[in-house]
Amino acid sequence: MTDKERPRAHLVLADGTVLEGEAFGAPGTAIGEAVFSTPATGYEESITDPSFFGQMLVLTSPEIGNVGITQEDAESRDGAPKIRALVTRSLSPVPSNYRSRESLDAYLARHGVVGITGVDTRRLTHHLRSHGSQSCAVGTDPVETLLRAAKEAPSMEGANLLPFVTPKAAYPFAETRGEWGNGPAPGSRPKVAVLDYGTKKNILRHLVEIGCDLTVLPAGSSAEEVLALNPDGVFLTNGPGDPAAATEAIATVRGLLGKKPLYGICLGHQLLGLALGARTFKLKFGHRGVNQPVLDVRTGRVEITAQNHGFCVDTATLPPEAVLTHRHLNDGTLEGFEVPSLRAASVQFHPEAAAGPHDSTGFFGRFLAAMRTPASDGSTKTTAS
């Protein structure tokens, strides 16, 4: 479809803000929370990140679609997009990438995802920064219809979205990044149970590459089911929604505390905090992009990180035994903590960085070291292959 053939569409926020554009991707109307993300590259990874489930992704980079779609770069388990809608300033009509197998337009249409292009994304981003992320509707319906749909859309607060993104059954994972990464590390191969809350594939690939044997479990798995695998460590992945609403997952994490080395990323970090008795709160517009500055308070080193989250653990509510390890330099919010007595640690950002910088990949090495360190009772928790 050429630009001249694209039907007129609108994006309407719940507060009544209306922006015009042109429809692409699948026909129809999409409803969800409008959020913006700032990466200059990596739109393929962003639209397939399950952490964006239920959201309307506004990309601040003006030119989107110029590298097409390469299935190997998808972050979701099934390779499908997880966003409700994609909002762009300019949609590249022709992909220029020898690895591309499909245009972004055709890919979204095939998966039933609505798109709108020609939107003043600078204005929209400024509005969301000032007024906060909020529900919106995108489509070719009359503005009045879209506004009503946006106002009636459920809030992200209180939304447990894990059932929509977690696998139905456990599965093994042994894939690496191939030409883009390394093979499995030599030495003993600890067994890791991964609780999949909507994981990005590159989290799993990094764990394989440091030498772990993975069993990936559904989010609804109980602590007893996890421990029955006798893993050397447990990993908590990223995922969408309000962490406080995922009560079943919180109970599982609470039941694992102190039993095995327990590390988490993003939603996994929030669930670990909640399991320890802390509280979470919704950020005004979240942290999304690949240029988020984080301070490692232990070393004084600043890391540029990839992030995608709208909720945060309240530092003041963490228990005394929790040690703050990372802090966001833009707003001072909590980005990481550890509980040495429980061999537990987590970070809010994405050290696997797909897409993004690789400043923080050492987090996976620290998890491996935790599994290879004898527990306080003197036993060794790592199983050799």
Q: Which residues contact 364 (CB under 8 A, 6 or more apart)?
A: 206, 207, 210, 351, 352
- How does pLDDT run across 30-79, given as a tens digit for each residue? 999 999 999 988 999 999 999 999 999 999 999 999 999 999 999 999 99
- In this predicted structure, the answer to whether residue 136 has a pLDDT above a threshold of 50 is yes
- In this predicted structure, the answer to whether residue 87 has a pLDDT above a threshold of 70 is yes
- In this predicted structure, the answer to whether residue 212 has a pLDDT above a threshold of 70 is yes
Mean pLDDT for the stretch of residues 356-385: 75
- In this predicted structure, the answer to whether residue 163 has a pLDDT above a threshold of 80 is yes
- In this predicted structure, the answer to whether residue 322 has a pLDDT above a threshold of 90 is yes
- Between residues 249 and 376, which one has the greater pLDDT? 249
d(CA 92, CA 89): 10
pLDDT tier, 184 (very low <50, low <70, confident <90, very high otherwise): low
Please identify which of the residues 127, 309, 328, 350 carries the catalytic annotation. Answer: 350
Please identify which of the residues 22, 33, 303, 352 carries the catalytic annotation. Answer: 352
d(CA 39, CA 180): 20
Query: To the nearest whole number, what is the mean pLDDT of the chain?
Result: 93
3-state secondary structure of 346: strand
Res 73: pLDDT:
93
Res 373: pLDDT:
85
- Looking at the chain, the whole-number percentage of residues with pLDDT higher than 90 is 89
Res 2: pLDDT:
47
DSSP string for 157-199: TT---HHHHS-SS-EEE----GGGS--PPSS---EEEEEESS-
Res 5: pLDDT:
84
Closest Cα to residue 312, out of 339, 292, 331, 293?
Answer: 331
Q: How many CB atoms lie within 10 A of CB 50?
A: 28
Domains of the chain: 3-152 (3.50.30.20), 162-372 (3.40.50.880)
- In this predicted structure, the answer to whether residue 248 has a pLDDT above a threshold of 60 is yes
d(CA 190, CA 253): 20
The sign of the CA dihedral 285, 288, 289, 295 is positive
Full-model pTM = 0.94
Closest Cα to residue 260, out of 225, 226, 233, 223?
Answer: 233
Strands (E), the chain: 8-13, 18-25, 30-37, 55-59, 63-64, 85-87, 90-91, 114-117, 134-139, 171-173, 191-196, 213-218, 233-236, 262-265, 280-296, 301-313, 323-328, 334-339, 344-347
Total residue length of the chain: 385
Res 181: pLDDT:
60
pLDDT tier, 244 (very low <50, low <70, confident <90, very high otherwise): very high
Please identify which of the residues 22, 266, 309, 326 carries the catalytic annotation. Answer: 266
Mean pLDDT for the stretch of residues 149-177: 96
- Looking at the chain, the whole-number percentage of residues with pLDDT higher than 70 is 94
Mean pLDDT for the stretch of residues 310-318: 98
- How does pLDDT run across 323-369, given as a tens digit for each residue? 999 999 999 999 999 999 999 999 999 999 989 999 999 999 999 99
DSSP string for 7-37: PEEEEEETTS-EEEEEEEESSS-EEEEEEEE
- In this predicted structure, the answer to whether residue 114 has a pLDDT above a threshold of 70 is yes
- How does pLDDT run across 165-179, given as a tens digit for each residue? 999 999 999 998 765
- In this predicted structure, the answer to whether residue 378 has a pLDDT above a threshold of 50 is no
Token pair 């006798």: residue = 230
- How does pLDDT run across 249-283, given as a tens digit for each residue? 999 999 999 999 999 999 999 999 999 999 999 99
Concerning whether 350 is annotated as a catalytic residue, the answer is yes
